[in-house]
Amino acid sequence: MPETDSTSDLKPDPFGRIKEDEMTMSKNNKGNKNQKSRRANLQVKGSPNESAAVFPERKVTIHLVRHAQGPHNLTHLPIKMRVNFVDPGLTDLGLAQSTLLRSRFEPMNRITHILSSPMHRTLLTALVAFEPIIAKGLQIVALPELREYGIAPCSTGSDMSLLLASLYSKAKVSRDDCIDASMVPAGWEQQHEGADRAEWLQTRKRRAQLVLEKLHALAVAATKAERGVWEGREVHQGRDVEILVVTHSGLIIDLEQNDDAPSYQNAEYRSYRYPTRDEVENCGMPYYKLIETRESKKRVHKFAADKLE
């Protein structure tokens, strides 16, 4: 996003200065065969290439988090029942997963920005799991492009004013401005992906591409010492940044662009870096590509059953 000399039209910094397609869940349980076809050829016509690359000034880490378990993830229920939960929240197990994620999320105190899908399950996961840094003043920015794929009820959103009131009550937050929903447009609840499979696959590719570009733009702006502007917000930190993204498994598949990566479990997180200048210019990597870090690959991502009791 181009910078501007004027700050008169900038929105308040929401980040603070603390120094599922309706069948996605069933498809993800069938292994990586479907993932490979969906991950392929993500870059679409009109996407930027390496010549357009602008590199962050400092180290950037992106943490992708899948929401905790919702009722639509209960595999013992018929799929027709699961997809008909409207904007589902979290099960008791999902709340327990979120609480456990809070205790095992090692980079907690290094997080500089939080982005989330505006859906009930993702926002509630974020409020519970990342309460320690939210309590210090960090806001969750609801980004509509991070929402679930599909048009089923479980992929349909809620009126944001009603949802926020409900979330603040459930999560027992200490303040009523934990979530910045100003980027979520009126009427966002229903999404339209296209009339047939080919069209909605292309729509999803474009959205995943847009998310990758927006994340990279945030990284570039946030690492600046001053005048770092993203989506009309001052976001500069002038230091290494760690961006937390709470979203859905279907979109994560397309953001990873890695055929060998296993599917995310509920409340799982992985950490990524951006390519170096050499990897972009000499190895042909897209500048916005997410590369899982060595530390992330060594983590045990699954929750032990006894820890959730």
Its pTM stands at 0.84
User: Cα–Cα distance between 201 and 43 in angstroms, integer?
Assistant: 12
The model's confidence at residue 14, banded by pLDDT at 50, 70 and 90, is low
60: region left, alpha or beta (phi > 0 left; psi from -120 to 50 alpha)? beta
User: What is the DSSP secondary structure assignment for residue 223, as one 8-state letter?
Assistant: T
Report if residue 225 sits inside a domain.
Answer: yes
Report if residue 163 sits inside a domain.
Answer: yes
Q: Residue 51: pLDDT above 50? A: no
Contact 71, 85 (CB under 8 A): yes
| Mean pLDDT value across residues 247-262 | 92
CA nearest to 63, candidates 277, 304, 301, 307:
301
pLDDT at position 31, please? 44
pLDDT in tens, 260-293: 888 899 999 999 999 999 999 999 999 999 999 9
pLDDT at position 182, please? 96
Report if residue 14 sits inside a domain.
Answer: no
- Alpha carbon 138 to chain centroid distance? 16
Report if residue 53 sits inside a domain.
Answer: no
pLDDT at position 261, please? 84
The model's confidence at residue 303, banded by pLDDT at 50, 70 and 90, is low
pLDDT in tens, 192-244: 898 899 999 999 999 999 999 999 999 999 999 999 999 998 999 999 999 99
Report if residue 17 sits inside a domain.
Answer: no
CA nearest to 157, candidates 256, 26, 91, 248:
248
SS (H, E, C) 128-187: HHCHHHHHCCCCEEECHHHCCCCCCHHHCCCCHHHHHHHHHHHHCCCCCCCEECCCCCCC
Q: Residue 178: pLDDT above 80? A: yes
Find the CATH number of the domain harbouring 34.
Answer: 3.40.50.1240
Report if residue 298 sits inside a domain.
Answer: no
Report if residue 108 sits inside a domain.
Answer: yes
Domain count, the chain: 1
Q: What is the span of the domain harbouring residue 283?
A: 24-44+62-291
User: Cα–Cα distance between 35 and 251 in angstroms, integer?
Assistant: 11
Torsion of CA 211, 226, 293, 206, to 10 degrees: 10
pLDDT at position 305, please? 53
Tokens of 280: 């972009």
CA nearest to 42, candidates 264, 254, 216:
254
The model's confidence at residue 170, banded by pLDDT at 50, 70 and 90, is confident
Name the helix (H) or strand (E) containing 63.
strand 60-66
- Convert 119-154 to b/e letters by CB count within 10 Å (16 or more is b): bbbbbbbbbbbbbebbeeebbbbbbbbbbbbbbbeb
Report if residue 107 sits inside a domain.
Answer: yes
